[in-house]
Structure 1
Amino acid sequence: ASTIGDLLKEEGLVSPRIRRKRTPGNLNELTDANRNNHVWSADFKGRFRLKDGSWCRPFTLTDNHSRYLLCCEPGTSETTTFVRGCMEAAFREGGLPDIIRTDNGSPFVAPGILALTQWSVWLMKLGIKTERTTPGCPGQNARHERMHLSMKTAMSHHDVFGSLSEQRVWCNGWRNEFNREKPHEAHGQVPPAKIWVPSPRSWDGKVPEVNYPEGAKLYKVGEKGDLSLNGRTFLSSALRGEYVRFLEVDDGVDVILFDRVILAYYDRAE
């Protein structure tokens, strides 16, 4: 008889050895970016007060290989709506990356299964993987942090303006300078714009539904993030309205999948 591991390997999911030792969704080490658009890093550059007294929280997005700065957008809050809007603009300009790396802050992660958020589910549907640095280890995102240091150095007192719109003008100008004029030792003192090219995975603005195999056993997640399984079973509020797949891997035991990511196991006898 097939073991759980055999069945998972047949589906191309995960080996039993790795499944036992690591939490699903954190199966791999951080990726070493070796080409353009392999890994992008996303973060907020702290916060500071504008001259009108309001807080400014710039969202930044870089390509790890070329160091190209795809986004430097000042905002007033660290929300899913704001981050998604910034990323949509970056995807239209630069196409889709393979992986996006973040820290463990909001809105990138949330308590619960795999730390899923509406943001990470959106990326999964676009075919983008996510990976997270270890809490308290900013050095794992060193290239992005060096860009933040360059930004902090450039932003003298005179570069803090009276309104968000004025600060946006400065951020756009500095982003252009960083990309086109700042040399990088790793690329022979060539600026990022000379290295980076858009991803071949262009984006048309549409978010596709997950494509499950024909005949797959599917359940729709309720508006509260739960499933109707001999009563209501909570799964993840980030998945509300989405379909998940139940794949039998042992007698009376199903693995619950979103796309090809293992969420949990369900024992029908319990």
Structure 2
Amino acid sequence: MVWRETVLMDERLRFVVECLSGEETMTQLCAGFEISRKTGYKWLGRYREFGPEGLQDRPRAPLEHGRATAAALVERIVFEKEVHPLWGPKKIMARLRRSEPGCVWPSVSTAGEILKRHGLVGGRRKRWRAVGNGPWPQPAEPNAVWTADHKGWFRTRDGWRCEPLTVMDAWSRYLLGLEATGSTADEEAWPVFERLFAQHGLPDRIRSDNGSPFASSGVTGLTPLSVRFIKLGIALERIRPGKPQQNGRHERFHLTMLPMANAPQADRAAQARAFEAFRRSYNEERPHEALGMDTPSQHYRSSNRPMPKSVPEPDYPAEAAVRGVRQNGAVKWQGTEIYISATLVGEPIAIEETENGEWAIRFYAHPLGFIDKKHMKLVRRSAAPTAPLGAAANAT
């Protein structure tokens, strides 16, 4: 399309002014001025480089040397940046090379210069880096560890409070779930995990912080959600309070999705659709540097541990003293009641003697603590507990 029949310099200058105001997208502006996006980016780039003088027509003699990037490739790079405004030149070029491997694409540095000339690259910000990844072994395959957290809340445009629940496979960085939940309550979180377990199978471990719905401040630290995990044979990994770097990969992902909280949708349903679109793009389109610029979907596979149809009973050794947790959250032991947890009411726990004569309590495979014989109460231990005699015998 051509510019409308007015003074060309005035028309081009008006276009640039409206473009820099940021009130409309490049696509909307170009449609209004009846020009292509390629022409729009050309005049914006000239204005940024040369000021108003750059809007004048140039001689038609070729200005580029033989190694200049072809205009069609430049347009593809600019278009990809417009579609994925949060991606840098590395991810953009990885995406284009993967989609068209037969094309001779320019280098990442050249792509960066192209985006800079078109005014599509801001100043570099200091990168957030995780320090370590906690006291646990690094996952060696998919589903060894899932990480989970609630992102900071925000309100949709109709005022609904959104508490995004995010679940990720630590090894492949595959975003399993990004849910628009309305609270951090167990009754909202469990249906999400139940669906993910049915779809992908069970992980070996789940890593989380110590907040709701994953942990509580009680002696056992259990919540209804964590009890469900334990009964399914999923080990709990909880980061230390004030140590978000122990779940560093997940924290880094939350920075990636931060712009979504700054652009809330109209309501809960619209927010859920936006989250799902983001999840698919993150898994299937966005290259990940830690994966050699592959996408998470290229590395993730479902677990070989399917969600069971019924919850298995605990396999306690014969020498363990099994007690049912009473309605008051306690068990009877040596003539007195020892409080365990209101969350475990009706559940069987095992009391086992350790090699040094202590009494350890566990629920399924999850250690709850030790009996303080002096005060006859359940206590935690910061150090690694001594193995119960039954567990030691089984290990040998």
TM-score range, shorter chain: 0.7 to 0.9
Which is worse superposed, 260-269 or 29-38? 260-269
Map 1:126-165; keep pairs closer than 5 Å. 126-154=232-260, 157=263, 160-165=264-269
Q: Which runs of 5+ in 1 are unaligned?
A: 1-27
Map 1:245-260; keep pairs closer than 5 Å. 245-249=350-354, 254-260=359-365
Q: Which runs of 5+ in 2 are unaligned?
A: 1-133, 377-396
The equivalent of 1:236 in structure 2 is 341
Task: Label 1:247 to 1:55 Cα distance change in 2 as closer, same or farther (>3 A).
Answer: same
The equivalent of 1:89 in structure 2 is 195
- 8 Å CA contact 1:74–1:167 kept in 2: the answer is yes
The letter of the residue matching 1:233 is I
Which is worse superposed, 231-240 or 210-219? 210-219
The equivalent of 1:37 in structure 2 is 143
Task: Label 1:253 to 1:135 Cα distance change in 2 as closer, same or farther (>3 A).
Answer: closer
How far apart are the structure 1 equivalents of 2:291 and 2:318?
47
Which is worse superposed, 189-198 or 203-212? 203-212
How far does residue 191 in structure 1 lie from its aligned partner after superposition?
A: 0.4
Q: Highest Rg: 1 or 2?
A: 2
Task: Label 1:140 to 1:254 Cα distance change in 2 as closer, same or farther (>3 A).
Answer: closer
The equivalent of 1:10 in structure 2 is none
The equivalent of 1:210 in structure 2 is 314
Task: Label 1:165 to 1:260 Cα distance change in 2 as closer, same or farther (>3 A).
Answer: same
Count of matched residue pairs: 241
1:180-223 C-alpha deviation (Å, 9 max, x unpaired): 00111111100000100001111134322212224642110012
How far does residue 115 in structure 1 lie from its aligned partner after superposition?
A: 1.4
The letter of the residue matching 1:166 is A
Task: Label 1:142 to 1:257 Cα distance change in 2 as closer, same or farther (>3 A).
Answer: closer
The letter of the residue matching 2:275 is C
How far apart are the structure 2 equivalents of 1:208 and 1:268?
35
How far apart are the structure 2 equivalents of 1:114 and 1:58?
26
Map 1:195-206; keep pairs closer than 5 Å. 195-206=299-310
Tell me the TM-score normalized by structure 2. Answer: 0.57
Tell me the TM-score normalized by structure 1. Answer: 0.82
1:15-36 C-alpha deviation (Å, 9 max, x unpaired): xxxxxxxxxxxxx923312211
- 8 Å CA contact 1:103–1:135 kept in 2: the answer is yes
The letter of the residue matching 1:90 is L
The letter of the residue matching 2:213 is P
- 8 Å CA contact 1:253–1:268 kept in 2: the answer is no
The equivalent of 1:12 in structure 2 is none
Whichever structure has more strand as a proportion of its residues is 1
The equivalent of 2:278 in structure 1 is 174
- 8 Å CA contact 1:72–1:171 kept in 2: the answer is yes
The letter of the residue matching 2:295 is P
The equivalent of 1:7 in structure 2 is none
CA RMSD after TM alignment:
2.3
Task: Label 1:205 to 1:88 Cα distance change in 2 as closer, same or farther (>3 A).
Answer: farther
How far apart are the structure 2 equivalents of 1:34 and 1:213?
31
1:224 corresponds to 2:319: no
* Deviating 4+ runs (over 3 angstroms): 248-254, 266-270
Q: Give the match's secondary structure for 2:275.
A: helix
From 79, 82, 88, the equivalent of 2:185 is: 79
